[in-house]
Structure 1
Amino acid sequence: MIEDISLCVPGDSGAMLRVPAWRLDSGRPGPRVHLQAGVHADEIAGMLVLHKLLPRLIDAAEKGLLRGCVTLVPQANPLGIGQFRQGRILGRLHEPSGRNFNRGFPESLAQDRPVGNLAAWQKALAVLAADADIVLDLHTDEQALQYVYLHQCFWPAGQDLAAALGAEVAIIWEGDSDGAFEEVVIAPWLAEGRFEGRLVSTVELRGQGDVSDALAQQDADGIYRFLCVRGLIAEPARLPSWQGRAVPIGHMETVFAPATGVLVFERELGDQVQAGECFARIVAVPGDPSSEHRLVAPQSGLMVTRHGDRLIQAGAIAAKFTGSEASSTWTSGALDP
């Protein structure tokens, strides 16, 4: 019933690396689901979520409740998982090339020309998800509320995912995001114009430090309920009505640090901050009161994410807010630069 479908991809040293993956296939009609975590190797929460979810899915399959099939890739990035430097994992960027692991996925999976290690890994992961109807890509932000990131073609149908997870915000995007995994998966669907029964979402499981048995179990339970509602598991499940807020990506406000210094937040995640209100300060020269920079909200909104360290570099993202109108600074592409 459970099949080991682990991938082997070339590492930066030339040695082959394993991407652990499993598939449960009922042999019955039903949705095809792909669940993965750790594309950015320093985002750990989703790895524990899928670790807890897999035994429950196996149990459902053994009881004859599984319909369709489900693939799980709990630790998707063997290139990034080895990038430890001075005791910390640096998993967002591919160190040899400086590229974001979740950008530049191949536009075509049919190409068979020689590619580098990073592209080979990206293609292998995308091929694994290519025949799925439902794809959840589990990530985390630095410090954040839980939110889901969905293309506009999946909204409002995707409210069931937001409700199942208890996500506080849904960010609705359109256009392109520089070849992120999610974009590559839905590209053929956009060409077909067929979205019924399909969904792809980047799920942001709060912040990078929010890793615990309690939170992982809560999120695994939420995904399980969602999969029941979507017909993968023949088990009744009820979802609460979703009480969060949906925000077009162009309405999200990103505030950048004007200087390097000590970052002091005056408001918390989830706080409603008014336009012009100071939510944080940067002390550029400790000891010099005149060196303080006040960071203010460009418009009224909910603080969704904030910088994880309390020493910030000029130009880094200090915080992101929901907005009720178009942001004056957003142009196009992904939410993060």
Structure 2
Amino acid sequence: MKMEKLITNELGSGDNFSLKIIKLQGICEDNSKKVYIQANVHGAEVQGNAVIYHLIEALRNNLSLIQGEIVLVPQANPLGSNQKVGTWTYGRFNPITGDNWNRMYKDVLKNEEALNTLAKEHKDDATTSKKLKKLLKEKIQAMKQSLSSYGPNENSIHFLNLQELASDADIVLDLHTGPIATNYLYVPAFLEEESKHLGFNHMLIIPNEFGTAMDEATFMPWVHLQKALKEHEIDYKIPFSSYTVELEGEELIDLERAKIEASKICQYLVYKKVLTKNPFSTPTVGDQYYCHLKDYKTYYAPRGGLVNYTKKVGELVKKDTTLFEILNFNDLDNLVTPYKAYKDCLVINHNTSSNIRDGMELYQVMENYWKID
């Protein structure tokens, strides 16, 4: 095991922020896989760091379990992690530009002519996949150089650095949390069947399209390659996996829960033949629910006031059941107003605050969900 550091920001004081890149290398052969796991791109979403801690502790003296390499990047956005407002971490958006830290990645190989060349030269899937990784890294490096010609843009270079670290990986896990949330995954459509092996309870199926997040930025080169090969009448199964992993709520770590979450990740890596066995106890997998992104709905506050969230995250809610109540002192005869669920739903997360103005997000729920056996 070794740790490298990559300077990310130089502050006005002359001090530096840096990434800690932890590499766990096991038995490496031609068909060995590389796993890239990062956490805490949003500053308040700290639970993934606790998961990475458990992965380090479990594997550092068991490197022989690893068939390939695992790269871990905790606290992947030092600038975001260090933005505080009072006791709260203001870490979802760049406080200067207002940009969402997890919406800054690039669709590097979009409209890339070199993909057509790869398709024309295709001999076998393994060789073409290696060529894609090489092309991806080269294009990211060229993009970084181009964007830095007048100085590094903080909203571009750092996230291209993260993409470059993941560019030769076979599996990418981007660890996040919700506000007050249950556990859930963002799953690209081509990985719907595989996703159950991560052992999480709630899966949001997203289109195989680019939406500027890390999971999409890493799987889209493979989607583009598959499309280019299809135009040459070549069937190609994407050998790459990428997920956004949501580890319940923000601002606090829970080391006991993190151990269970680390065990689920390791069990998945056993399934993917990266680990020969799970160094933790085998995790229990509960009911698993799926939902398409188009059916992932947000309830917004119909008025300002103080919100009583009557349904908990992970709870199944029936249509016309009270979902939340709003306390507002403008009408002394109707101080509390109940609001009902529009449809049957499964609660995924809700706002961290009861002090709400109209139009703010309250709940996010799955509708038209289904349960797998």
TM-score, normalization by structure 1: 0.87
What letter matches 1:47 in structure 2?
A: N
The alpha-carbon distance between structure 1 residues 33 and 41, as it changes in their structure 2 partners (threshold 3 A), is: same
**C-alpha displacement at 1:201, in angstroms?**
0.6
Alignment of 1:19 onto 2:61? no
Q: Does 1:185 align with 2:218?
A: yes
Uncovered stretches (5+) of structure 1, i.e. residues with no partner: 326-337
SS of corresponding position for 2:36 = strand
The corresponding residue for 1:97 is: 97
- CA distance in structure 2 between the aligned counterparts of 1:168 and 1:53, rounded to whole angstroms: 21
Aligned partner of 2:48 in structure 1 is 46
- Distance in structure 1 (CA, Å) of the matches to 2:173 and 2:287: 21
Per the TM alignment, residue 119 of structure 1 is displaced from its structure 2 partner at its CA by 1.2
Say yes or no: does 1:269 pair with 2:313: yes
Per-residue deviation at 1:305? Answer: 1.0
Three-state SS of the structure 2 residue aligned to 1:184 is: helix
1:319 equivalent in structure 2: 363
- Which amino acid in 1 is paired with 2:55? L
Kindly indicate whether the alpha-carbon contact (under 8 Å) linking 1:229 and 1:236 is maintained by their aligned counterparts in 2.
no
Distance 1:265 1:242 in 2: 24
Would you say the 8 A contact 1:8–1:18 is kept in 2?
A: yes
Unaligned runs of at least 5 residues, structure 2: 109-139, 227-235
Cα deviations by residue, 1:37-71 (Å, 9 ceiling, x for unpaired): 0010110111111012112121221xx22211110
2:347 to 303, 320, 331: 303
SS at 1:94 equivalent: coil
Q: Which moved more, 1:139-148 or 1:264-273?
A: 264-273
Question: Counterparts of 1:266 and 1:158 in 2: how far apart (Å)?
Answer: 30
C-alpha distance after superposition, 1:295-324 (max 9, x if no partner): 321210111111111212322211111111
Is 1:207 the counterpart of 2:249? The answer is yes
Deviations 1:158-205 (A, max 9, x none): 2111x2xxx221000015453111111111110122555421111110
Q: How does 1:63-74 map to 2 (within 5 A)?
A: 64-74=64-74
- Would the aligned equivalents of 1:159 and 1:242 in 2 still touch at CA under 8 Å? no
Whether 2:332 is the aligned partner of 1:282: answer: no
- Alpha-carbon contact 1:38-1:74 (below 8 Å) kept: yes
Which one has the largest radius of gyration? 2
Q: Tell me the secondary structure at the aligned position of residue 53 of structure 1.
A: helix
Deviation at 1:3, TM superposition (A): 2.7
> Whole-Å Cα distance in 1 between the matches of residues 182 and 10 of structure 2?
34
**Offset of 1:28 from its aligned partner?**
1.4
Cα distance, 1:87–1:241 mapped onto 2, change above 3 Å: closer
On the 8 A contact 2:27/2:66 being kept in 1, the answer is no
Change in 2 beyond 3 A, CA 1:199/1:147: same
Alignment root-mean-square deviation, CA: 2.2
Are 2:47 and 1:10 aligned? no
Indicate conservation of the 8 Å contact 1:104/1:178, yes or no: no
From the two aligned structures, give the one with the greater helix fraction.
Answer: 2
Q: Distance in 2 between matches of 1:40 and 1:217?
A: 21
1:116 aligns with 2:115: no
- Tell me the secondary structure at the aligned position of residue 320 of structure 2: coil
Could you tell me which residue of structure 2 aligns to residue 230 of structure 1? 272
Over 3 Å counting, the alpha-carbon distance change for 1:117 and 1:239 in structure 2 is same
Give the secondary-structure state (helix, strand or coil) at the position aligned to 2:273. coil
1:216 aligns with 2:258: yes
Q: How many residues of Structure 1 are paired with residues of Structure 2 in the alignment?
A: 318
| Counterpart residue identity of residue 340, structure 2 | V
Deviation at 1:289, TM superposition (A): 4.1
Q: Deviations over 1:108-135 (max 9, x none)?
A: 2231222412211111111101111111
CA distance in 2: counterparts of 1:287 and 1:318, whole angstroms:
22
Q: Which residue of 2 is the match for residue 34 of structure 1?
A: 36
